[in-house]
Structure formats: C-alpha cells, structure tokens
Structure 1
Amino acid sequence: MSHTYSAERAEEIAENLAGVKAKMDQTLKAKGVGAQKVPIGGGCARLVAVSKLKPASDILAAYEKTGQLHFGENYVQELEDKSKELPSDIQWHFIGSLQSNKCKVVAAIPNLFVVETVDSAKKASTLDKACAAASRPEPLGIFLQVNTSGEESKSGMLPSEAVEVAQHVVSTCPHLKLTGLMTIGSPNPDLESGENPDFKTLNQCKTAIEEALQIADLELSMGMSDDFERALIQGSTNVRVGSTIFGARPPKTTA
C-alpha cells in the first residue's frame, strides 16, 4: 500500500477540505452555532472525509497537511488494511453495510471510532459480542441506521423500530455506546419548506428515543457531498463528504 503522494495532489485535497470546512462554518454561523469542531453536543458538527476506494496516500495527505482525523470507509477489508497501514490516531468511521460475519473483523480495529450502520437489534447484539471478544477497552460507538425514505434499495430499520432497537442497545449491549442515528437522505427537499423530509424524520426519531430512554445529545449523521449544508441546517452533527474532497471514485473491482 503506497503512502507516497505528490505535492500537487496534497494541495488539491487540502484546498478541497478547506472549501468544505468553510461552507460548514458559514452554514453553522448562519444558524447561530459555532465552527465545525467538537464538542458535538454544543451544536457543532464533525466532518468525516469519505475515503472509500481512494488510496492510502490520499488519506495520509489529508492527515498530514490539514490535520483531518475522521475518515469513512464502506468496505471491511479496505478499512482493515488501511487501519493497519496509516497513523493510529486516525478515527475511522465504518459507513458501509455491515454483515454479521464481518463484525469480528470490524470490532478488532483499535482506532475504530464508530460504526454508523447498525440496522437491527440482532446486528447490535452480534457486534456487541464481537467487541467483548476483542477486549476493546471502551464501548464502541454506534449509530442506528434508519431508512427514512422507505426505499427498498437502502438499508436501515424503519423509523417505527428505532426506539425499540435503541432500548435493546442500551439495556443489553454493554460493549456498545449508542452515539446517534444515521440516514442516507433522498436528494429532493420539500420545495415549499426547503426541508429534506428524511432529515426531519431522523430528528423525530432522535426526539422519540431521547424521550423514551431519558437520554440527551444523541448525534445525527446525515448529509453528504450534495446536501451537507441542508443537513447542517436541519441539525446534523456528523456529515460524510467524499467526492467533493477526493474527487470521483473509481468503480469497485471484484477480485
């Protein structure tokens, strides 16, 4: 796995990251909150640079030239390989579909920050057991993935299932930490209100869970390259931006 990057490529990535962060800052300031850094609970937001199918050199360039720490990967093998090759203080987000038979591999990655795609109580239990087997020193953060649009092509639990699954995680999965909720929103906002209905639905799920479990400050992971500004306006604390930072991705090849 090559770690070498050109000065031109590093500058391109750094400029793209700066542009995204500037838009985040402008959006959040217009909303009346702070810059795009933690603490998340204070109304700020985190930028996850989605690096799937991009070389390790791109990630290293972003890390070394801008201090970017949060990166998102969709494929378990790619995440495992990159986590072994790249700096140990990188905070990895797994944002792809998680198969039960891959939970052990994911749980064993020491600097995995969060799994954003837990879509059922059964999957949570499997991941919890994997974390116990891996002897992780602290509970692993998870987001519950909610299919807010009802599209069959998208993963995630129904909004009506979110409270029950959240309760399951909190009461029976001691090696997991319920960090928040995630959705992949449809691209079409309501033309009259300007709101994305999927983001509105995820906010409603957040409220219902917090009231039912008597907890606070659940995060919302919503918004990607095309809609992260709208997502921030509607309360996102975690945006996943890939192509705007790294450029178009090559097609995934199967060996």
Structure 2
Amino acid sequence: MSALPSIARQKELLSNYESIAKVVSETAKKYVQHKVNLVAVSKLKPSSDIMGLYNEGVRHFGENYVQELVTKSQELPKDIKWHFIGTLQTDKCKILAKQISNLYAVETIDSLKKCKKLNSLRKEIDGDVINVYLQINTSDEPQKSGYSIVESERSLIYESVEFLLSEECSHLNFQGLMTIGSIGESFKDENEDFTRLVNLKNELNEKYSLDLQTSMGMSNDFEDAIKKGSSSVRVGSSIFGSRPPKN
C-alpha cells in the first residue's frame, strides 16, 4: 500500500478538492438538473497524494500515461475508479484492458479499430465492463486526437457508435462523448467547442435513442462546461498543484 502524504499536504489536498467540489456542486445545482462527476486528475503526482484524497472518500481519479496508471493501479486500493484520459495508442489497448482490473473508463477512444481492440482484449480475460467515451476534436485542431465533426467524416463516428451498441461489443459500455476545448475558446463568454459537443450528443441521442453523458471542462473552464451541461469534469492542477515536467 502506498504511503500517506504529510499532514500538511493532506490538509492542502482536501481543502483544494473540497473547494473545487463545492463550485462544481453549486454550478450544477444552478444550471443543470443532474449531478456532475469530479475526476481528480493525478498525472505525474505521487500515489501518496491519491491516498490523501482516497482516505477522504474520493474514488474517481484520472491518468494520462498508461505505464504510470499501471504502476499506480498496482499499489493503490482496488476500489479506485480509474479514468484513462490520455492519448490512446492502439498498442496500449492490451495493457489497459488486461492489466488494470478496476479501469472505470477510457475517455479517449478515437477510432473503430481501438473500440474493437479494447473490447476483444477485455473479453479475453472476461474482465469488468469498461465505460468508454468517444473523443471528439470539436476545435478541429490538427495536433489533437479525436473524431472530426465535419459532415464528410460523421460516418466514422456513426460506425463506432453502432459497434459499441452491438451485441458483439460485450465488454465496453458506451457512456458518452469527451472533448478538450481549445485554449482560445476557454477565455470566451461562449465556448463553441462545448456547444459543438452538446449538439453532437443531442444528435446521437436522437438518432440511436440514447442518453449520453459528456466529459468536458478542466481546471480553467469547468464552470462553463457545467453550464453547457457537462456530466463530468476533469480537474488536476487546481487540486494537486502545478506538475513537474514529464521525463
């Protein structure tokens, strides 16, 4: 089991988390009719930090790097609900599917191939069903992963949705859509990236009779994301503080 943080660090983490959770709760209560899940993004932070929040009842944690997630999942309690929120490479699907028994969600699926691979590999070990989100590149930035929302490429989204809803897909649960808004949009009064994701969600809900969730909003824009209807926000630096550079 991982060591605990110092008493001072524990108090700092809890204060930060409770402050963010209060804003999340109050914003959700004011603008939407559903509970908003707060995922504490712990990438590049020690397992002791996670234990500091775990001991206060926090269970949803997000990680960006596969090997870091594997290491933490092995040394931390098995009832943690891990969210993989980093870029998903096809060759990493095997590690996620087979080595992390308590993998709660993969939020960065961006191809039918990855849907099929993650499902088949999880099926091989008859592991628990993994919740998945399709990542949508709502800002159409070439450096970002995710399905394009341009009309000519919508069929790629539909193909993945239809696989996720098929009987063949026994070990993935299609939970919703995810986006990372552009930096420029996060400073505007009206974040068009979030609006585009909600519009796509509504389209898919109607087309396939679904009730999808949305994962959008991070430390600098989660309040606006909730106002737009986000079901889940991913907050890291506002809880854990600035991160060291990745080696």
Alignment TM-score, normalising by the size of structure 1: 0.90
SS at match of 2:183: coil
Q: Which residue of 2 aligns with 1:146?
A: 136
1:104 aligns with one of 94, 101, 118: 94
Q: Which residue of 2 aligns with 1:215?
A: 210
User: Retained in 1: the 8 A contact 2:32–2:227?
Assistant: no
User: Retained in 2: the 8 A contact 1:114–1:140?
Assistant: yes
Q: Which residue of 1 aligns with 2:170?
A: 174
User: Retained in 1: the 8 A contact 2:25–2:36?
Assistant: no
Q: Structure 1 residues 164, 208: closer, same or farther in 2, change over 3 A?
A: farther
Q: Structure 1 residues 191, 63: closer, same or farther in 2, change over 3 A?
A: closer
SS at match of 1:188: helix
Q: Which residue of 2 aligns with 1:95?
A: 85
Gaps of 5+ in 1: 34-42
Q: Structure 1 residues 87, 44: closer, same or farther in 2, change over 3 A?
A: same
Following superposition of structure 1 onto structure 2, how do residues 1-255 of structure 1 map, counting pairs within 5 Å?
3-31=3-31, 33=33, 43-64=34-55, 66-108=56-98, 109-136=100-127, 138-159=128-149, 160=154, 161-171=156-166, 172-189=168-185, 194-216=189-211, 218-253=212-247
Q: Provide the rounded CA distance (Å) in 1 between the counterparts of 2:65 and 2:224.
A: 27
Q: Structure 1 residues 97, 190: closer, same or farther in 2, change over 3 A?
A: closer
Aligned positions, number: 240
Q: Structure 1 residues 139, 4: closer, same or farther in 2, change over 3 A?
A: closer
Instruction: State the identity %.
Output: 47
Taking only aligned residues, the RMSD between alpha carbons, in angstroms, comes to 1.6
List 4+ stretches of structure 1 deviating above 6 A.
Answer: none
Shift in Å, 1:190: 8.8
Shift in Å, 1:125: 0.6
Q: Structure 1 residues 6, 214: closer, same or farther in 2, change over 3 A?
A: same
Shift in Å, 1:215: 1.8
Q: What's the CA shift string for 1:49-73, capped at 9, x where partnerless?
A: 0000000000000111x21100000
Shift in Å, 1:170: 1.4
Alignment TM-score, normalising by the size of structure 2: 0.92
Q: Which residue of 2 aligns with 1:36?
A: none
User: Retained in 1: the 8 A contact 2:2–2:51?
Assistant: no
Q: What's the CA shift string for 1:124-146, capped at 9, x where partnerless?
A: 0111111111211x421100000
